[in-house]
Amino acid sequence: MSQKMHFHGTTILGILTKDEVALGGDGQVTFGETIVKANTRKVRTMYDDTIVAGFAGTAADAFTLFDKFEQKLDQYNGNLNRAAVELARDWRTDKYLRRLEALLGVMNWDNAFIISGSGDVIEPEDGIIAIGSGGPYALAAARSLLKHTKLPAKEIVREALKITAGICIYTNNVITIEELKSKKGSSPKVKGTGGKK
């Protein structure tokens, strides 16, 4: 039961637009109904700061998946699409990896994906990644802020996560956000929304 709660106990939110990429997460770690840490860093940049990634799930499992994902990025020269698909395939078929309980959200200038242990690689149609227990709240807040404000992506992520922290008991307001600063290393556009034309 605690593993299930642990798996859902976070919020990761990412926004991909034509001009901006930002991914953020809260810092809360829970064990059952107890908060054991408030400032865990659940997002990071990868592959020479051309990719951002975040996790929802048990920390040990997620860090293992981060390492595996970085290996895939190195293997496929930073090709996010290929690395995501190959990680999902290994995650689903490998006897050890398929026991890991986490979700990964990954983004570059061209694509945003949610990767799961069931072999799914999901590309959100609106360029917004929202995972974890507070994901639905963060998604709703981000969509509204994108539609009705001119805030930059980083501030939309921050405000949406603050809203979520006021609703979801497994999400706090200790927020870490990573942005991609330039389009260096951007890969050719693959079908999807929110990337460069």
Q: Are residues 22 and 157 in contact, defined by beta-carbon separation less than 8 angstroms? A: yes
Active-site positions read 10
CA 190 to chain centre: 19
> DSSP per residue over the chain, as a string?
-HHHHHHHS-EEEEEE-SS-EEEEE---EEETTEEEES----EEEETTTTEEEEEEE-HHHHHHHHHHHHHHHHHTTT-HHHHHHHHHHHHHH-TTGGG--EEEEEE-SS-EEEEETTS-EE--TTSEEEEETTHHHHHHHHHHHHHH----HHHHHHHHHHHHHTT-TT--S--EEEE--S-TTPPPP-SSSSS--
